[in-house]
Amino acid sequence: MLIDPTKVSPSSPHAPCPRLWVFNPGHEEALRIPPHLRYTPTSEVRQMRYDLAPLLNLLAEQGDYIYRPALTPSESAVLLDHEGHVTSVEHLRGESLEVKPWGLEPHILRELQEAPLLQGIDLRLPPITPTYLQMAHRHAAHGLLSRLVEQGGYPAELLPRWVEARATKAETQRALQRALDDRALRDLGSREEVLIKRPFSSSGRGVHPFPRLYTERHLEALTGSCQRLGMISIEPLWQVREDWALEYERTAEGRVVFVAFSLFETQATGRAYAGNLLLPQMALRERLTEHIGERALAELIQLHSEYLTEALEDSDYVGYIGIDLFLYEQGGVLKLHPCVEINLRTTMGVLAHLAYERYLAPRASGRFLIEYVPRTSVPVTEGDLLLTPWDEDALFRAVLRPS
C-alpha cells in the first residue's frame, strides 16, 4: 500500500547551507587513480549516474539540489531541485552549497569545481583525509573482522588472506601460489572456487571467482592483477543464504549511530546489487535475530559502532556507512559472517530504507529494485512506483514494487 509522501516529515534537520547531492557510483575505482591523473568513468557508470541521479531526492530536503551530469559530450549537466525536477542555477551565483557526494573521491570534486554549470557558486567540498582513504580501502574490513573474531567469538577462518605485490613478478606469483594452496583454505567453503577481491571496490564489484584447480594461465593473470593493484585478497566462497547490511551514520560530532537493517538481493549473473526486500524495521530485526539471537545482534552493533568510532576518530567524514554481512550454510548449520566489507558512503540500503518510510504504509512490504532495462523498452509492472524518470535514453531505473 502506497502513502502520500508529502505527508512525511523530514527525518533530519537542515544543514547550515543547502546541500548539493551527487550520485557517483564506481567511486571506489576512481580512488585507485592518482588525483593528478584524469579518471574517465566507464560508459555503464556514466549511464547510471545520469539515469539514477534523481533517486537522490530520497536524501534531499527542501532547499537542497541534485547534480545530474551530462550523458553525452554534446549535452550539459543540469541541476535538479529536492524533488528531482530541473531547476535554474542563476539564483545560486554567489551562494554556497555543501557538496554531498555518494562516495567521496578527488576526481568527482574536481569535476564539480570545473563544471560550467556550477561556476560562480561557492562549493563547500568535504575533506579527503588519510584516515578516510585508509577506511575506504577493502583492507579496513579485515581490521573490523579481526576485532569481531577477537571480541565477538566469530571464527578466524572468516578472515581473508591478503597478498601484497612483491618486488618482482616471480615473487608475487610464489606468494599467491602459497596462499591458494594453503591447506586451511582448501578445507573451507566451495570445493571448486575461491573468491578474489580487489582492494578498492564494493557492491559486489571487483569480486571474482577463481578455480581451485587453477592453471598456469590463471595464475599468470592473477599475478598481473596483484602487481597492478598492489594487493588482492583471497577468501573462501561460502554458501550464502541471505545478504544483509547494517547501515550506520557518522554525525558531525563524530558519533556513529545505527540507522537501519538492510536485506538485499544480488544479480543472478553476478554479485552486484539488484535490490532490497522492503519490510518494517522490526520485522527485519526479528528475521535476523531468529538466526543469530538478540544478544549476538546487540553485541554486533556495539562492536561495529565502537570500531568505526575509533577508526574514524581523526577523520572529518560525515555521512552514511554500510557494513555488509551474510548468513551462510556450513555443515547444515546457518552461520553469520559479521563483516564482508565496509562501505564508507551512502548505500542503496539506505535509499531503500528511506523509500520504505516515504512511500509504504506501516507494516507493508515490497521490493526496492535497480533494474537494467534495454532500450527495447520493458514496461513497468502494474502497481510499481517508478522512482526515477524514464525516457528513451535510459538504461537503468529505480522501482518500488509493493507486495
**CATH code of residue 228:** 3.30.1490
Q: CA–CA separation, 28 vs 203, rounded Å?
A: 10
Environment class of 373 (CB within 10 Å of its CB; exposed 0-12, middle 13-18, buried 19+): middle
Q: CA–CA separation, 100 vs 23, rounded Å?
A: 9
Q: Are strands 96-101 and 19-22 parallel, antiparallel or unpaired?
A: parallel
Residue 145: inside a domain: no
- Answer yes or no: do 397 and 262 share one domain: yes
Q: How many domains does one find in the chain?
A: 3
- Answer yes or no: do 256 and 338 share one domain: yes
**Per-residue pLDDT tens digits of the chain, which is 403 residues long:** 554 433 433 344 444 799 999 999 989 888 888 899 999 999 999 999 999 999 999 999 999 999 999 998 889 999 999 999 999 999 999 999 999 999 999 999 999 999 999 999 999 999 999 999 999 888 899 999 999 999 999 999 999 999 999 999 999 999 999 999 999 998 999 999 999 998 875 555 678 999 999 999 999 999 999 999 999 999 999 999 999 999 999 999 999 999 999 999 988 666 688 999 999 999 999 999 999 999 999 999 999 999 999 999 999 999 999 999 999 999 999 999 999 999 999 999 999 999 999 999 999 999 999 999 886 566 777 889 999 998 878 899 999 999 9
- Cβ count near 188 (within 10 Å): 17
- Cβ count near 86 (within 10 Å): 11
- Answer yes or no: do 203 and 271 share one domain: no
The pLDDT of residue 254:
95
- Answer yes or no: do 344 and 259 share one domain: yes
Q: What is the pLDDT of residues 265-311, one digit of tens each?
A: 988 666 688 999 999 999 999 999 999 999 999 999 999 999 999 99
**Residue finishing a domain among 197, 214, 236:** 236
Residue 219: inside a domain: yes
- Answer yes or no: do 215 and 264 share one domain: no
Residue 137: inside a domain: no
Residue 25: inside a domain: yes
Residue 230: inside a domain: yes
- Answer yes or no: do 94 and 205 share one domain: no
- Answer yes or no: do 193 and 105 share one domain: no
**Residue finishing a domain among 113, 128, 143:** 128
Type and span of the H or E element at 145:
helix 139-152
Residue 138: inside a domain: no
pTM of structure: 0.91
- Answer yes or no: do 110 and 253 share one domain: no
- Answer yes or no: do 232 and 245 share one domain: no
Q: What are phi and psi of 279, to 5 degrees?
A: -140, 160
- Contact predicate 313/292, CB 8 Å: no
**Residue finishing a domain among 111, 128, 145:** 128
- Answer yes or no: do 180 and 123 share one domain: no
Residue 203: inside a domain: yes
Q: CA–CA separation, 75 vs 64, rounded Å?
A: 23
- Cβ count near 25 (within 10 Å): 23
Q: Among residues 137, 52, 58, which one has the least CA distance to residue 354?
A: 58
- Answer yes or no: do 277 and 310 share one domain: yes
- Answer yes or no: do 213 and 257 share one domain: no
- Contact predicate 235/194, CB 8 Å: yes
Helices 294-311/281-292 angle, 10° precision: 100
Q: CA–CA separation, 318 vs 305, rounded Å?
A: 14
Residue 143: inside a domain: no
Look up the domain containing 204 and give its range.
Answer: 160-236
Long-range Cβ contact pairs of 329-338 (< 8 A, separation 24 or more): 329/239, 329/241, 330/238, 330/239, 334/241, 334/291, 336/154, 336/291, 336/292, 336/296, 336/300, 337/154, 337/158, 337/238, 338/145, 338/148, 338/152, 338/154, 338/158, 338/300
